[in-house]
Structure 1
C-alpha cells in the first residue's frame, strides 16, 4: 500500500524532503530560545547587566525571526507537496478507471468511486501534510526539549518522563477506540453519496411519483449514520484536551514545587526553572501534536486502503503483447462461445453460440427480456471476454486486436444513450473529432436527425445540456446514431436504439443504412418485428441460446417463438416475454 501511494509523489519529492528539513530547523530555533531566556534572567536581570540583556535579547529576536521563516517555508513546501500528491492520486485513479473493463467497473459502486476521488483523497492529503510537518516537528521537538531539560537538571526532568508515559498511555487508548469508528465512517459516506446521486439522476421519476418525502428520509438516515459515527469518534478524541491540560498543570505544579526547593537549596537558578517550565510545555504539546497526527493517520488508513484498491485494480481486458492493428472487414464469427459475467458462476449467460456473419450483412436480433441479446453483441467489441470459445472479427480473434483499433471499427448505439454538455456538433464529433460540419450534417441526414435540428434556433450549434435533457428520447437516439455513423465503422450495432423513434422514421433510417453503408455489417436489436423483417438474417435468442436463424419468411415457417411474436404484434399486442411453444 505504502509503495503504491508513494509512487504518486513523483515530481513533489523535492518539496517533500524540504518540508521536514525546515521543520527541524524551526524546532532548533525554538529549543535555543529557553536557554537564552535563562541567560537573560541569571546573567542579566539578577546581575544587573543591561548590556547582556540587550545582546541576548537581540539574539532571541534574530532566532525567533529565523524560526518564523523556517516555519513559513515548511508550511509552503508542505502545502505544495500534499496538494501535488493529492492531484497525482486523483489523476492516477481516474486514468486507471478509464482502463477498466465492465467486469472491473462492476466491483465498485459509482458513489464509492466518487468518495475515493474526493473525500478519501482529501484525507490522504491532510494526513500527508501532517506527516511531513507534525510527524517530524513533534517528536524532534520533544526529544530536543527532553535532552535540554535533562542537561539542565536530570532530577526535575524525570517528572516529564512520568507525564509522557501517563499521557501517552491515555492517548493510545483513545486512538485505539476512535479508530474503529473512523474506519466505519467512509462506508457511510458511500451510502450518503449514493443517496444524493440516485435522487439527482432520477429527479424526474421522484417528482412524477411524488416521492420527495421518501428521498428526504433516505438522505436523512444516511446523513445521520455519518453524524453518529463522527460523534462517537470525536467524543473520544475530545478527551485529548482535558487530559493534556491536566498533565501540563500537574507538571507545572510538580516542577514549581520541586524547583522552588532546589532554588532555596541553591542547586537550581531561577532562569533554569523558567527554562524547564518552557520545555515542559514543549514536551507535552509535542505529545499532543503526535496524538492528533496519529488520529489523522488512523482516519486516512481506511482511505489509503480504498484508494490503493482502485490504483492496484488491473483491467481484466488488456492488449496482447503484439496486437493486430488493422481490422480487415466486418465479418463476425461466434465459435462455440460460452459466457458468464462471473468466473465462478454456476450457469452461463450465453451457451454454445455458433454464428457465421458475413461482412456487409444486416443481422436482426430478437428475443425476450433476459435472453442475452446485449450480452451477445458486447462480446464483439470485447467489452467482456468469452468464458470459452472465441469471437472472430475480420477473421481474427478479438483478443488478438489492439483494443482501440477494434473499438474504432465498431460503433455501438444503445437504447439509453448519453449526450454530453456542449453543442450538437461537439457531440457528433465524438464519432470523429476531425469531422467537418458538412460530414456531420450528412450523418444527421442518414439518421433522420436533420429534421428537428434545422428547426432549432442555432441549428447545429444548439447547446445540449448534460445528459441531453433538453432533447426528447427519440431526438437523442437519432443524434447518437449520427454520432456512430461518423466513425465510418466496419460494424454497426444498434441495441434497441430506435425504440423511441416512430415507425416511419425507423423505416427511413433502415433504408438509409441499406443504401449508404452497404459494406458495413449491421446488427439491429429491436423489439418490433417490422424493424427486422427486411434484414438479411434474423437471430432469435431464447434464454442465452440461439433458438433460430433465418430470414423473416423462414422463421415464420420454422420458429414458434418468432411466429408468436409476429402474430401478436400484427394483432396489436406484442409481448416478447410471452414465448411460443415449440
Structure 2
C-alpha cells in the first residue's frame, strides 16, 4: 500500500494542511477536560459565577475552533482520498490499455473490473481513515496519557491493565479475520465473472433453456461470498462489544478508585472527572485504531491486487526508437513465422512465409482452428511471434510503435464490436476528425446508407451497449464503414461479410474495389465464393501453409483447397 501512496505526491499540500488542522483539533480536545476540572474545582467550589462564565466561554471558543479544524480536515481528507481513487483508476485503465491479449487471458476481464472498481474503493475508503484517524488516534492517545497523569498518577494502573487487554483482543481478532479478507475479494471476482457471463450470454442461455442452471450457478457464487462475509462479520462482531465492555469496566474502575481517593482527600472531584474523560479519549483513540486495523488489512489485500496489475510485465512493448519505414506503403511480409499460444502443446502457426503488396487482394482460407485469426493477430501485433518476423513496409512490427503500426490498418474483426453512442460516432471511431461527408461516404460504400436513412434519427440513431438494437448484418456494415473511413494502407476483413445477404454482399464488393484499390487487402474467410476472385489465396491447414496461388492454380496443386471447394461448390461450379 505504501507503494501506491507514493502517487499522492500531488496532494502533499492538502495532506500537510490536514495534519496541522488535526493537530490543532487534538490539542483543543485535550485541553477541554482540564478547563472543565478548573470549573468544578475552582468555580463551583468557590461559587465564583464570573470564573465559571469566563472559563465556560473559553471552552466554547476552544470547542468551536476544534470543530472548524475537524470539518476542514475532513473535507480535505475526503477530497484527497477521492482524488487518489481517481489516480488509481486512471493508472489501472492506462496499464490495462497497454496489455496484449496474453495479459487479458492471464488475468481475466472479471477480475480487472473488480480491481478497478471494488479494490480502488477499498483503498479510497481506508485513505480517508488514515488521513484522519492515523494522525488523530496516536496524538490523542499520547496526549491523553500525559494530561491524565497531570491530574493524578495513582489511577494510571487502571489504564496499564486495560490497554494490554484491548491490544490482545485486537490481535486475536485480526489474526483470524485477516486471511478471510483476501478470500473476500476472490469471491467478489468469482461473482463478477458469473454475472458477466450471464449478462453477455443471455441469448444463448435462453435459447438452450439454461436459465435455471445459471440461476443456481449465480446463487452458489453469491452464497459463497455471503458465507465468507458472515465469517468476517462474526469475528468482527466480537471486537466492538469486547472493546465497549473494557471501556465501561475501565470507567467503573476509575469512578470506584477515584471516589476512594476523593474520600481520602488525595484527589479533587474535577480532577477525577477530567481523568475519566482523558481515559475515555485514550480508549476511544484505541477504538479508532481498531477501525483502522479492520479496514487496513482488507485494503492491503486490494493494494496487492492493484499492484499486481500495475506491475504486470508487458509481453508487447514499444521500442525506445521506432525504425523508419521504406517508401512502399502497405507492404506486408511474413518470414518463417511460428507462434504458440501460452500453455498450448502444439503451435498455432508453423513456418509461415508469404508477402502481400499494395493493390493486391490476399485471401486466407482454411478450416476451423487452422490459424487464420492467429495470423491476423500477429499482423496487428496483438501477439508477438515466437520465431521469425512479421514486416510492414520493410520494418519488423516489433521495431515499430504499436500506434504507428495500427494507424496503417483498417480492421474489421470477426466478432463485430459496436460502442454505445450514435451510428455516426461508431463510424467516426475510425477517424476522430472525420467530417459529415466522410461519414456518409464510408457508410454508402459499406452499404449502410439504406438502413440508416430508414431510421428516424438517421446517423444520430443511438446504438445500445454491444449494438444489441441493430441486426448482425447492420453491425457488420457499420464496422466496415468504421474501417473504410480511415483510408488505411492495409485493410483486414476477418470473416466480415458472413452476415450479409448475397445482394448486399455483391453491392458491397463492387463499391469496395475503387476504395481499396491502392491498399493491401486481406480477407479471411471459410467460404470459397468469398475468396475465389482474390489475387492470391493462402490455404492454411493445422497452422501450416498448404498452398498459395489463385483459385485455378490451387485447384490443380492443393489437395486441402480442392477438398474445401468440393464441400462447398457443385460440380457445375467447379467446372
Q: What range describes the TM-score normalised by the shorter chain of this pair? A: over 0.9
| Native 8 Å contact 2:495 2:525 kept in 1 | yes
1:292-345 C-alpha deviation (Å, 9 max, x unpaired): 111100110111111112222243222212213657411111111111232x65
Change (3 A) 1:255 1:423: closer
Match of 2:201 in 1: 202
Match of 2:31 in 1: 32
| Native 8 Å contact 1:325 1:402 kept in 2 | no
SS at match of 1:390: strand
Match of 2:299 in 1: 300
Match of 1:577 in 2: none
Aligned-pair distance for 1:249? Answer: 2.3
| Native 8 Å contact 1:415 1:499 kept in 2 | no
Alignment of 1:189 with 2:188, yes or no, is yes
SS at match of 1:366: strand
SS at match of 1:93: helix
SS at match of 1:567: helix
Aligned-pair distance for 1:571? Answer: 4.1
Match of 2:336 in 1: 336
* Residues 44-83 of structure 1 aligned to structure 2 (within 5 Å): 44-83=43-82
Match of 1:469 in 2: 468
180-189 or 96-105, larger mean C-alpha shift: 96-105
Match of 2:425 in 1: 426
Change (3 A) 1:49 1:456: closer
Match of 1:373 in 2: 372
Aligned-pair distance for 1:460? Answer: 2.5
1:181-201 C-alpha deviation (Å, 9 max, x unpaired): 111101111111122212222
* Residues 405-420 of structure 1 aligned to structure 2 (within 5 Å): 405-420=404-419
Match of 2:103 in 1: 104
Q: Distance in 2 between matches of 1:261 and 1:215?
A: 69
Alignment of 1:456 with 2:455, yes or no, is yes
1:65-92 C-alpha deviation (Å, 9 max, x unpaired): 1111111111111111111111111111
Q: Distance in 2 between matches of 1:502 and 1:248?
A: 78
Alignment of 1:214 with 2:210, yes or no, is no
Q: Distance in 1 between matches of 2:178 and 2:193?
A: 24
Q: Distance in 1 between matches of 2:434 and 2:131?
A: 50
Aligned-pair distance for 1:478? Answer: 1.4
Q: Distance in 2 between matches of 1:325 and 1:395?
A: 9
| Native 8 Å contact 2:349 2:371 kept in 1 | yes
SS at match of 1:8: helix
* Residues 270-281 of structure 1 aligned to structure 2 (within 5 Å): 270-281=269-280
| Native 8 Å contact 2:349 2:544 kept in 1 | yes
SS at match of 1:432: coil
Uncovered stretches (5+) of structure 2, i.e. residues with no partner = none
Q: Distance in 2 between matches of 1:460 and 1:159?
A: 77
Q: Distance in 1 between matches of 2:258 and 2:38?
A: 17
Match of 1:554 in 2: 553
1:211-259 C-alpha deviation (Å, 9 max, x unpaired): 3322222222222112111111111111122212221222122222222
Q: Distance in 1 between matches of 2:231 and 2:40?
A: 48
Match of 2:173 in 1: 174
Q: Distance in 1 between matches of 2:120 and 2:345?
A: 38
| Native 8 Å contact 1:330 1:360 kept in 2 | no
Match of 1:267 in 2: 266
Match of 1:19 in 2: 18
Q: Distance in 1 between matches of 2:240 and 2:462?
A: 56
| Native 8 Å contact 2:448 2:474 kept in 1 | yes
Match of 2:230 in 1: 231
Alignment of 1:515 with 2:511, yes or no, is no
Match of 2:319 in 1: 320
Q: Distance in 1 between matches of 2:344 and 2:108?
A: 21
Q: Distance in 2 between matches of 1:457 and 1:166?
A: 73
Uncovered stretches (5+) of structure 1, i.e. residues with no partner = 573-582
Q: Distance in 2 between matches of 1:517 and 1:337?
A: 27
Q: Distance in 1 between matches of 2:106 and 2:541?
A: 28
1:85-118 C-alpha deviation (Å, 9 max, x unpaired): 1111111111221122212222222211111111
1:268-306 C-alpha deviation (Å, 9 max, x unpaired): 111111111111211111111111111100110111111
| Native 8 Å contact 2:430 2:483 kept in 1 | yes
Match of 1:161 in 2: 160
SS at match of 1:522: strand
Match of 2:114 in 1: 115
1:434-455 C-alpha deviation (Å, 9 max, x unpaired): 2222222222232222232233
Q: Distance in 1 between matches of 2:397 and 2:76?
A: 49
* Residues 362-401 of structure 1 aligned to structure 2 (within 5 Å): 362-401=361-400
Match of 2:247 in 1: 248
187-196 or 317-326, larger mean C-alpha shift: 317-326
SS at match of 2:523: strand
| Native 8 Å contact 2:325 2:394 kept in 1 | no
Q: Distance in 2 between matches of 1:339 and 1:436?
A: 40
Q: Distance in 2 between matches of 1:326 and 1:336?
A: 21
220-229 or 120-129, larger mean C-alpha shift: 220-229
TM-score (norm 2): 0.96
| Native 8 Å contact 2:325 2:395 kept in 1 | no
- Over the residues paired in the alignment, what is the CA RMSD in angstroms? 1.8
210-219 or 328-337, larger mean C-alpha shift: 210-219
Q: Distance in 1 between matches of 2:452 and 2:344?
A: 47
Match of 2:88 in 1: 89
Q: Distance in 2 between matches of 1:164 and 1:320?
A: 58
Aligned-pair distance for 1:385? Answer: 1.1
294-303 or 50-59, larger mean C-alpha shift: 50-59
SS at match of 2:127: helix
Alignment of 1:359 with 2:346, yes or no, is no
57-66 or 98-107, larger mean C-alpha shift: 98-107
349-358 or 529-538, larger mean C-alpha shift: 349-358
Q: Distance in 2 between matches of 1:439 and 1:496?
A: 25
Q: Distance in 1 between matches of 2:451 and 2:557?
A: 42
